[in-house]
A = this chain, B = another copy of it.
Amino acid sequence: MTTQATTLDSHQLPLKTLILNAARKLFAEHGYAQVSMRKLATTIGYSPTTIYHHFKDKKELFLCLTEETYRDFLQAINEILSVSKSPKDALKDILYTFVTMGLENPNAYRVGFMMETDMWIKDGSNFEHNPLGKTMYDRIKSCVKKCMPPNSSDEDILVTSNSVIAAAHGLTSLLVTYPNFEWGPVAKLKKQVIDSAVDAIV
């Protein structure tokens, strides 16, 4: 560990982050399935096997990028929450930022929120299993709670929170999946989707 760091730092850059940077770029440009370990290896100028010395397999490499996505989203949410506003305004802000960040970084969004990793990665590693992902979800939920009457049941809070998230996610995933469709003015769309979801809260 320490020896590795010294050896590599003296040269240029930890190989692990070099791999991650290249992978992020390639995945974002071509998509997960289109990037082979060999291609990734040649773009960084190493043999394929070298990657396997830093990541168990292609999935783990992919999950490292997922982790980063969750971290970014969570940080954005925390920043919004740190600036005190009315709960509804904060919630709208969060959702708006969520959608905006997703559209700015479509591949990160896909990786973090649109891939049923359980299907191919047996040991479950979705947002629901990731601490950062879960924290993110809980932040939104507790913000929704603050928008609701104090005597609301847990079930109502859960359902309302999930409804609001579903609306925001629906918009983002549609725009990310079909970017060329005639969606109309995106800003208006964002506003309408988020407002109608949040304003529907009793």
30 residue pairs of the A-B complex, CB under 8 angstroms, read A33-B33, A33-B120, A34-B119, A114-B173, A115-B177, A116-B176, A116-B177, A128-B181, A155-B188, A159-B184, A159-B185, A159-B188, A159-B189, A159-B192, A162-B183, A162-B184, A163-B171, A163-B189, A163-B192, A163-B196, A166-B167, A166-B174, A166-B193, A170-B171, A170-B173, A192-B200, A195-B200, A197-B197, A199-B200, A200-B200
Known: A128-B181, A163-B193, A193-B166. A120 touches B34 (CB 8 A): yes
Task: Tell me how far the C-beta of A183 lies from the nearest C-beta in chain B, rounded to whole angstroms.
Answer: 6
CA of A118 to CA of B116 in the docked complex: distance in angstroms? 20
- Tell me the A96-123 residues at the B interface (CB within 8 Å): 113-116, 118-120
- Tell me the A48-98 residues at the B interface (CB within 8 Å): none
- Closest 8 pairs between A and B when the two form their complex, measured CB to CB: A170-B170, A196-B200, A166-B171, A166-B170, A158-B184, A163-B192, A169-B170, A159-B184
Identify A197's interface contact among B158, B162, B167, B173, CB under 8 A: B167
